[in-house]
């Protein structure tokens, strides 16, 4: 019997920010993608991304884009608080979905989105891009195959330049919906929970501080907490996204330690192996600032631009997603159910820090 060829893809990109552009440019070079459409509320941004991706259709109305008969798959890359309606509209058409994290910024909305995806039996994955960094894949394999024995303790420490936090707080009208755990700590959390996917978390105890970002934007600087699993294993997580603007990490500087009964694994994801220092306003890094002249190259999660193309985990994540839907391949993308779980855990961190006592898991109320 002849081998079946790949399914052809008509791709809708809803949200023409940085991520929409990155994924669109990767898709434009994929052999299974025949058609691309772009939607964004800002017409000039939609046109810019549409031009770069050689889109056949550009609009400021995502519903008009999803109504096109050519569309068979969609990337949802709007601002985090605007995911729900385009996801639900795409689910109605039973489109394959790549959704930027989180599914929603509030638990009830996330639960509603997950229920719709599962009821429609839609293949929806969520953009936890760190799963496509080689070091985390290597770590996952060692944990999966039992090299460490039974994992008993994991620690993670994430340091972030405050430019990320200031940008997120600037884009929301309600600072209480934004926190370092929900927006950024969720990436480290996903990696660790992916490593420990066989274990059931039962309690969270956390604390937060707000002495730096509180006066600036009513924001939270940092959160530290402890997850206890049903078998007694522990995960200690720390994230601060209030480091000074001159901190060389464009975004992430992450360290993880995984200890088991038979071994230990440490992962340095601080990106101090390639350091750029320049006297020029080079535009390097995330949301460049004039006072930033030193960068840990590679610390921007999607990857780096080189020779006119994005290189790194977001490119691999996007290409593998397109392979997944065109050829039916199995991939390590986070599922919608995993994404809802990660939102629940980050909200539990914030709730425990707010009420200053341990929180039983799972929670369904923020």
Q: Could you report the per-residue pLDDT of 307-349, keeping only the tens digit for each?
A: 888 889 999 999 999 999 999 999 999 999 999 999 999 999 9
**pLDDT band, very low/low/confident/very high, at 134 (cuts 50, 70, 90):** very high
Q: Which domain holds residue 40?
A: 9-122
284: pLDDT confidence band, cut at 50, 70 and 90?
very low
Residues 112 and 148 in one domain: no
Q: Write down which residue in 122, 148, 176 finishes a domain.
A: 122
Asked whether residue 263 is assigned to any structural domain, the reply reads: yes
Q: Is the pTM of this model over 0.85?
A: yes
| pLDDT tens digit sequence for 254-268 | 999 999 999 999 999
Asked if the model's pLDDT at residue 288 lies above 80, the reply is: no
Residues 193, 87 share a domain: no
Q: 93 and 206 in one domain?
A: no
128 within some domain: no
- Same domain? For 98 and 171 the reply is no
The answer on pLDDT for 285 being more than 60 is: no
Radius of gyration of the chain (CA): 20
Question: Cα(91)–Cα(197) distance, rounded to whole angstroms?
Answer: 27
What is the spatial distance between Cα 310 and Cα 300, in angstroms, rounded to a whole number? 11
pLDDT on residue 123: 98
The domain tally of the chain equals 2
* Residue 277 pLDDT: 87
Q: Are residues 156 and 214 in the same domain?
A: yes
291 in the same domain as 157: yes
Percent of the chain with pLDDT strictly greater than 70: 96
Q: What's 183's domain CATH number?
A: 3.30.360.10
Question: Could you give phi then psi for residue 354, rounded to 5 degrees?
Answer: -70, -45
78, 99, 122 - which closes a domain:
122
- Domain co-membership, 157 together with 288: yes
Whether 207 and 161 map to the same domain: the answer is yes
Q: For all residues of the chain together, what is the average pLDDT?
A: 93
Q: Edge-to-edge strand order for the sheet containing 252-260?
A: 264-269, 252-260, 151-161, 234-243, 222-229, 201-209, 359-360
pLDDT at position 32 is 97
φ/ψ of residue 232, rounded to 5 = 95, -5
Contact (Cβ atoms closer than 8 angstroms) between residue 98 and residue 87: no
Query: 236 with 285, same domain?
Result: yes
Residue 365: band (very low, low, confident or very high) from pLDDT cuts 50, 70, 90? confident
Tell me: the pLDDT tens digits for 142-173? 999 999 999 999 999 999 999 989 988 988 88
Is residue 129 a part of any domain in this protein? no
Cβ burial, residue 262 (10 Å; 0-12/13-18/19+): exposed
Domain membership flag for residue 31: yes
> Residue 224: its pLDDT value, please?
98
| 237: pLDDT strictly greater than 50 | yes
Q: Is 326 inside any structural domain?
A: no
The answer to whether residues 38 and 97 belong to one domain is yes
Q: What is the sign of the dihedral through the CA atoms of 292, 296, 299 and 303? A: positive
Among candidate residues 90, 122, 154, the one where a domain is terminated: 122
User: Do 69 and 192 share a structural domain?
Assistant: no
273/354 same-domain check: yes
Confidence of residue 298 (pLDDT cuts 50, 70, 90): confident
- Model confidence band, residue 1 (pLDDT cutoffs 50, 70, 90): very low
């Amino acid at each position: 019997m002849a081998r079946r060829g790949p399914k052809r893809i008509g791709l809708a990109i809803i949200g023409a920010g940085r991520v929409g552009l990155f994924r669109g440019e990767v898709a434009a070079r994929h052999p299974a993608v025949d058609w691309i459409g772009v939607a964004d509320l800002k017409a000039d941004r939609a046109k810019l991304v549409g031009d770069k991706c050689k889109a056949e259709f550009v609009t400021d109305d995502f519903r008009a884009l999803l109504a096109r008969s050519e569309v068979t798959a969609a990337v949802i890359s709007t601002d985090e608080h605007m995911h729900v309606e385009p996801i639900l509209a795409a689910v109605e058409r039973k489109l394959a979905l790549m959704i930027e994290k989180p599914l929603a910024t509030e638990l009830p909305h996330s639960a509603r989105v997950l229920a719709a995806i599962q009821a429609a039996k839609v293949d929806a994955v969520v953009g936890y891009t760190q799963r496509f960094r080689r070091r985390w894949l290597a770590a996952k394999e060692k944990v999966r195959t039992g090299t460490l024995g039974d994992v008993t303790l994991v620690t993670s420490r994430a340091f972030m330049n405050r430019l990320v936090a200031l940008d997120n707080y600037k884009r929301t009208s309600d600072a209480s919906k934004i926190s370092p755990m929900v927006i950024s700590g969720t990436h480290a959390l996903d990696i660790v929970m992916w490593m420990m996917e066989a274990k059931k978390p039962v309690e969270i105890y956390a604390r937060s501080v707000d002495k730096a970002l509180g006066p600036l934007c009513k924001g939270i600087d940092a959160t530290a907490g402890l997850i206890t699993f049903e078998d007694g294993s522990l995960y200690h997580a720390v994230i601060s996204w209030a480091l000074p603007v001159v901190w060389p990490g464009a975004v992430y500087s992450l360290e993880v330690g995984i200890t088991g009964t038979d071994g230990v694994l440490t992962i340095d994801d601080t990106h101090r192996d390639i350091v750029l220092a320049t006297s020029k306003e080079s535009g390097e890094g995330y949301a460049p600032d004039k006072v930033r002249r030193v960068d840990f190259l590679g610390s921007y999660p999607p990857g780096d631009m080189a020779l006119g193309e994005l290189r790194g985990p977001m490119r691999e994540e996007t290409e593998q997603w397109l392979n997944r839907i065109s050829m039916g391949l199995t991939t390590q993308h986070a599922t919608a159910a995993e994404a809802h779980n990660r939102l629940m855990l980050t909200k539990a961190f914030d709730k425990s820090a707010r009420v200053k006592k341990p929180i039983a898991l799972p929670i369904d109320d923020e």
